[in-house]
Amino acid sequence: MASHRRPKQPNSAYATVLSATAVAAVAMSSQTASADPLPDPNKKGAQAQVDRLYEEATQATEKYNGAKERADTLQKEVADLQDTAARKQAGLNDLRAQLGSVATAQYRSGGIDPSVQLLLSSDPDAFLTSAAGMERLTARQSQTLQQFLSQQQVLQQQRTLASTKLKELQENRTELSDKKRLIQGKLAKAQRLLNTMTAEERASRAAEEERANRSSDRADLGNQASASQRASAAFAAAQSRVGMPYVWGATGPSSFDCSGLTSWAFRQAGISIPRTSQAQAGAGTRINSMSDMRPGDLIIMRTDLSHVGFYAGNGQILHAPKPGAQVRYESIARSGMPFMWGVRF
């Protein structure tokens, strides 16, 4: 089987720096070790716990991404509602001015019609209870009045809906803050565990990451074609990001989390897909068998659907795996994450 030639990676100096600092690449490395007690930091236990904390952080990241996507959607809906309400208020002001002109004319001709008085009072809706007064308005004035009352009702509905959305947005932002603290707490705890390791143990861990990166450099992807031109274009975009660091919540172009990489890559191909791995798992066409996967298909991992990458061919996945790692190719069989299904666009 032919050996796959990958696009040129970032310069060697950049890659060397990333490799040398891989064990320290967490967001909260400056926090102290006083937050909670540490488990027994023997080599095997500490290594296993760091990996578990990184896995938990990546799972929590997808939940954070979902909450953020909802917050962004709510923010746009609120802005649209407020903009619509402002335009309707301007229209109501125009109608009120027209009706004010009616009142002025009636005053000059011998007094203001009681119906118009009611309309221009602090409670214009009370006019509806005095239908007899409508007979004293011209057909044109009556139409303007009905239009005013109708638009006033719609405006109130818009404002009520905007208020409800604002409350939901505030609750969502609280959820975002909680999830952010959870992720940062796990990363900080992992960093404290790393800090308990000896220099030799940290060097061993860094060497393990370097081996994974070298293995990515030599990945044999075969020569299978993608199922569609758009999948091929998205996959090519993701390939151009090999060597970029994993950063939770990041969507590129120079750092990514797992679903940030896949959604960014498809955007480069002119296709909008959902932001989170769970939402991406429900989009497109499901591919249930690994044998039916083609390069550029999304591959959904873990039983909670919290990881996603690109199927790269020949049993390989291209993904942003975890904190402290780079975007790279890895064997699916050795990833330690169960394959759930594929998604084709």
Spatial CA neighbour of 155 closest among 83, 209, 213, 104? 83
Distance separating alpha carbons of residues 313 and 331, to the nearest angstrom = 10
Dihedral pair phi/psi, residue 308, rounded to 5° = -145, 150
Residue of 23, 212, 258, 312 marked catalytic? 258
Active site residue 319: yes
Residue 160 burial (CB < 10 Å; 0-12/13-18/19+)? exposed
4 is catalytic: no
CA distance 304 to 278: 8
Catalytic residue among 4, 189, 307, 328: 307
Active site residue 258: yes
Identity of the amino acid at 331: S
Beta bridge partners of 251: 256
**CB atoms near residue 5 (< 10 Å):** 7
Read off the tokens for 116. 């118009």
Token pair belonging to 345: 């666009």
Q: Which residues 6+ apart lie within 8 Å of 332 measured at CB?
A: 290, 299, 315, 316, 317, 339
Within 10 angstroms of residue 283's Cβ, the number of other Cβ atoms is 14
Say which DSSP state 7 is in: P
What is the C-alpha separation between 237 and 230, in angstroms, rounded?
A: 11
Q: Which of 101, 103, 107, 97 is CA-nearest to residue 115? A: 103
Distances, alpha carbon 43 to alpha carbons 76, 187, 199, 317, 334, in Å: 49, 18, 11, 29, 22
**C-alpha to C-alpha distance for 345 and 340, rounded to whole angstroms:** 17
| Catalytic site residue from 88, 189, 319, 344 | 319
Q: Are strands 285-287 and 298-301 parallel, antiparallel or unpaired?
A: unpaired
C-alpha 84/C-alpha 92 separation (Å) is 12
Cα angle at 123 between 91 and 118, to 5 degrees?
Answer: 90
Kindly list the catalytic residues: 258, 307, 319
